[in-house]
Amino acid sequence: MEGIGIVSYGANIPRLRIKTKDIAAVWGKDGDSISNGLGINEKSVPGIDQDTATISVEAARAALKRCSINPQDIGAIYIGSESHPYAVKPTGTIVGEAIGATPDLMVADYEFACKAGTAGIQTCTALVKSEMIRYGLAIGADTAQAAPGDALEFSASAGGAAFIIGKENIVAKINHTLSYTTDTPDFWRRAQRKYPSHGGRFTGGPAYFKHITNSTLKLMERAKTKPEDYNYAIFHQPNGKFPISVSKKLGFSYDQIKQGLIVPYIGNTYSGASLVGLASVLDVAKPGDRIILSSYGSGAGSDSFDIIVTEDMNNLGRNNAPSVADMIENKQYIDYGTYAKLTDILYWE
Amino acid sequence: MRDVAVIGVGMIRFGELWDKSFRQLISEAGSKAILDSGVAGKDIDAMYIGSMSSGRFIGQEHVGALVADASGFSHLHIPATRVEGACASGGLAIREGYLSIASGINDVVVIGGIEKMNDVAGTSATETLATAADQEWEAFFGQTFPGIYATIATRHMHEYGTTKEDLARVAVKNHSNGALNPYAQYQKEIKLETALNATMVAYPLGLFDCSPVTDGAASVILCAAERAKEFTDKPVKIIASGQASDTLALHARRDICTLDATVNAAKMAYKLANITSKDIDFAEVHDCFTIAEILAIEDLGFVKKGEGGKAVENKITTLDGEIPINSSGGLKSKGHPVGATGVAQIVEVALQLRNEADKRQIKDARIGLAHNIGGSGATCTIHILEAT
């Protein structure tokens, strides 16, 4: 198929997990009620040697294992994250070296809350289209921060996914992509601050729902599609409730979103959230399947994609790397004390 | 002393109004009241604005002049005063306006009540509300309003056998009324089980025992009764205004199951109106927590002390009961933008007495009472209104 799209993909989810009820117990809260309220049963936790750079490298390597492209043909790497290990010094260069894509390479780290990864896919799509590069690598990954005791602590988790964008041997064609952006401060982290702040319920109606709804509707208008035209729908998933609610509002069924709804099992991987959902869908999608994806980044914006799976999906070595389902199952539970150590809560000067 | 009438009312739908500024909220409610009353800017002698904590909620003090300005009256240089008494700020603004007319100083007064509470995070809102408690004796030790009212509730349960179901029934009733009020924040009914099984806030008060954090504004136009007919053919007379105070801290009270401020303000108001509690047809009472409505109907004399818990079950306070309480949905369902609450109560009482309360209209409503509390009962205002 002609056009621009996804040549390969890979995801990475750390194997450590903490249960919602174990976090709740520390704060004297009712774990069952929180699990039920958030739609999250447990979340992934980065190990002592895992961060956004390692998750990005693992996801990128998984993508390369599934296809046969030469890393030297990758002309650009964009990594979207809220938890780049360095404030100044790119994560993208680490990944570029690790996968052997340097030095003829454009690199920049992106930040747009939870949608910087999809912004990277849009950039790579445009660069491929303009023929400035042959392949681009876009990654969304996070080891999300949450202040101890904050509501975010039940959801903020770790994971990411990588996508190689090109126009040769594409397994999923990106038909259309657009964004809907306003200045809406619903969630933020000031410079030098360890944990983000948020506007409580303001993060819902005027933020998440407004942007995803508008972006998705505008995309369907441009693509001349209706909800029933899609086999799979993926919406940003800060918790288990928002994506179900927005999908209903837009006219999608639970059957359309369940394959891409990963948050109940691993929590909110922020920049990775909608992209791990997309990786999960690509793990099972068949040629001809149509996918709609809308990410959301606080601050605020939503990127929407209309994607169709091609015949070349049958030639992709999907089994050469672990599926999202494999990584969800491959887990080891830790207690809150271990979690506190690993997430730097126990830091002192 | 001159008689005073309500000649106009206006309010906006309460809620989480992120897309409207403080100015927009109050000018919208104020314009509605002014249009309803038929007065013009040049007729207005004074403005009184009830706002508890605009400084902490939106970083803006000096809201008396601000409201006059936002209303487009700056060129008229109308005296505009902000009145504060925690959650009774609105009731106090009504009373100040009432006194200024009764005394003969003013003829036409605009009352505004406003609070914009959702621009800060929930924890900041709780801290700000706690400034209405005694900082040295209560707030410094971590006491918050849910905690204070929970203390009252557990004592009431111990003394009088009030149950968690009794508390929940107040919420169910008020949601049922609020479902009929187009100005209410939550226009939906709830089930008893929902209220009973809700997240615990401070035992025995669950989420549905607590009024919400709300943005909102309400406005009322008061006028010397002798001039009311110049502006409207549907004035409602204020036949009494009462006010009382008490200790700021709960522990210093004679009896924590009685709000003596309510008892004393009611005594003052009933005496002024020359009536008793039995003459009241319906009331808007300060149900910041479900237990607060139970205390209010006891302390106002509608039921005996200790019997308030059973009032909903015995259908005394339901919309079709012998004394309907909180036909508007109360603070629980209509919402509780603290400075606006006391003014919004007068709006509801006036609408009922004008027979304009639509689906929630109380039959043959002739005398209505509005009961507004500041803190855990350190301030109380009571107004009694009569249909003309």
* pLDDT for residue A344: 86
Q: Can you tell me the distance from the alpha carbon of A268 to that of A287, in angstroms, rounded to the nearest whole number?
A: 29
* pLDDT for residue B239: 98
Domain identity same for B149 and B167? yes
Domain identity same for B165 and B251? yes
Six-digit token pair at B212? 């919400």
Six-digit token pair at B88? 């009774």
Its pTM stands at 0.87
Six-digit token pair at B66? 């601000």
Give the pLDDT band (50/70/90) at residue B55.
Answer: very high
* pLDDT for residue B41: 95
- Residue B203 is classified by DSSP as T
Are B18 and A202 a contacting pair at CB < 8 A? yes
Strands B367-374 and B282-284: parallel
Q: Can you tell me the distance from the alpha carbon of A235 to that of A297, in angstroms, rounded to the nearest whole number?
A: 11
Burial degree of B206 (CB within 10 A; 0-12, 13-18, 19+) = buried
The mean pLDDT value for A297-319 works out to: 98
* pLDDT for residue B293: 98
Domain identity same for B13 and B103? yes
Query: Closest by alpha carbon to A49, among A139, A158, A154?
Result: A158
User: Into how many domains does chain B fold?
Assistant: 2
* pLDDT for residue B5: 98
The mean pLDDT value for A158-170 works out to: 97
pLDDT of B191 strictly over 60 = yes
Q: Which amino acid is at B9?
A: V
Domain identity same for B154 and B231? no
Cis peptide before B146 (omega within 30 of 0): no
User: Which residues of A fall within a CB distance of 8 Å from B200?
Assistant: 30
Query: pLDDT of A268-295, one tens digit each?
Result: 999 999 999 999 999 999 999 999 999 9
User: Which residues of A fall within a CB distance of 8 Å from B197?
Assistant: none
Six-digit token pair at B346? 């007068």
* pLDDT for residue A1: 53
Give the pLDDT band (50/70/90) at residue B237.
Answer: very high
Q: Can you tell me the distance from the alpha carbon of B33 to that of B108, in angstroms, rounded to the nearest whole number?
A: 13
Residue B81 sits in a domain whose CATH number is 3.40.47.10
Q: Can you tell me the distance from the alpha carbon of B369 to that of B209, in angstroms, rounded to the nearest whole number?
A: 23
- Residue B218 is classified by DSSP as E
Query: pLDDT of B341-374, one tens digit each?
Result: 999 999 999 999 999 999 999 999 999 999 999 9
Element housing B5 (H / E): strand B4-11
Q: For chain A, what percent of residues have pLDDT higher than 70?
A: 99
Q: CA of B123: which chain A residue's CA is closest?
A: A200
Enumerate residues 240 to 259 of chain A having a beta carbon within 8 A of any beta carbon in chain B: none
Query: pLDDT of A207-235, one tens digit each?
Result: 999 999 999 999 999 999 999 999 999 99
pLDDT of B219 strictly over 70 = yes
Instruction: Render the burial of B9-47: b for 16+ CB within 10 Å, e for the rest.
Output: bbbbebbbbbeeebbebbbbbbebbbebbebeeebbbbb
Complex ipTM value: 0.73
Cis peptide before B365 (omega within 30 of 0): no
Are B18 and A206 a contacting pair at CB < 8 A? yes
Q: Can you tell me the distance from the alpha carbon of B297 to that of B371, in angstroms, rounded to the nearest whole number?
A: 10
Domain identity same for B87 and B59? yes
Domain identity same for B16 and B131? no
Q: Which amino acid is at A100?
A: G
* pLDDT for residue B11: 97
The mean pLDDT value for B88-113 works out to: 98
Q: CA of A34: which chain B residue's CA is closest?
A: B199
The mean pLDDT value for B263-284 works out to: 98
Q: For chain A, what percent of residues have pLDDT higher than 90?
A: 94
Domain identity same for B220 and B205? no
* pLDDT for residue A349: 64
The mean pLDDT value for A184-190 works out to: 95
Q: What is the pLDDT of chain A when averaged over all its residues?
A: 96
Domain identity same for B157 and B105? no
pLDDT of A201 strictly over 90 = no
Query: Are the beta carbons of B334 and B181 closer than 8 angstroms?
Result: yes
Q: Can you tell me the distance from the alpha carbon of A293 to that of A279, in angstroms, rounded to the nearest whole number?
A: 11
- Domain containing B275 equals 125-210+239-387
The catalytic site residues of A sit at 82, 114, 236
Largest CA distance in chain A: 57
Element housing B224 (H / E): strand B215-224
CB pairs under 8 A between A and B: 16
Query: pLDDT of A141-156, one tens digit each?
Result: 999 999 999 999 999 9
Closest-CA distance of chain A to residue B18, Å:
8
Are B19 and A202 a contacting pair at CB < 8 A? no
Domain identity same for B131 and B248? yes
Give the pLDDT band (50/70/90) at residue B121.
Answer: confident
| Edge-to-edge strand ranges of the sheet holding A332-333 | A42-45, A16-19, A332-333
Domain identity same for B206 and B219? no
Domain identity same for B151 and B266? yes
Q: Which amino acid is at A176?
A: H
Query: pLDDT of A57-92, one tens digit each?
Result: 999 999 999 999 999 999 999 999 999 999 999 999
A149–chain B Cβ distance below 8 A for any pair: no
Helices and strands (H, E) in chain B, number of each type: 13, 11
Burial degree of A98 (CB within 10 A; 0-12, 13-18, 19+) = middle
Domains of chain A (ranges plus CATH)?
5-171+331-341 (3.40.47.10), 174-312 (3.40.47.10)
Domain identity same for B249 and B372? yes
Six-digit token pair at B325? 């309480």
At residue B340, what are phi and psi to the nearest 5 degrees? -85, -20
Hey, of A27, A33, A183, which one would you mutate to test binding to chain B, going by the most B CBs within 10 A of its CB?
Answer: A33
Cis peptide before A196 (omega within 30 of 0): no
The catalytic site residues of B sit at 87, 336
Three-state SS sequence of chain A: CCCCEEEEEEEECCCEEEEHHHHHHHCCCCHHHHHHHHCCCEEEECCCCCCHHHHHHHHHHHHHHHCCCCHHHEEEEEEECCCCCCCCCCHHHHHHHHHCCCCCCEEEEECECECHHHHHHHHHHHHHHCCCCCEEEEEEEEECCCCCCCHHHHCECEEEEEEEEECCCCCEEEEEEEEEEEEECCEECCCCCCCCEECHHHHHHHHHHHHHHHHHHHHHHHHCCCHHHCCEEEECCCCCHHHHHHHHHHCCCHHHHHHHCCHHHHCECHHHHHHHHHHHHHHHCCCCCEEEEECCECEEEEEEEEEEECHHHHHCCHHHCCCHHHHHHCCEECCHHHHHHHCCCCCCC
B199–chain A Cβ distance below 8 A for any pair: yes
Q: CA of A207: which chain B residue's CA is closest?
A: B18
User: Which residues of B fall within a CB distance of 8 Å from A33?
Assistant: 199
Q: Can you tell me the distance from the alpha carbon of B360 to that of A119, in angstroms, rounded to the nearest whole number?
A: 52
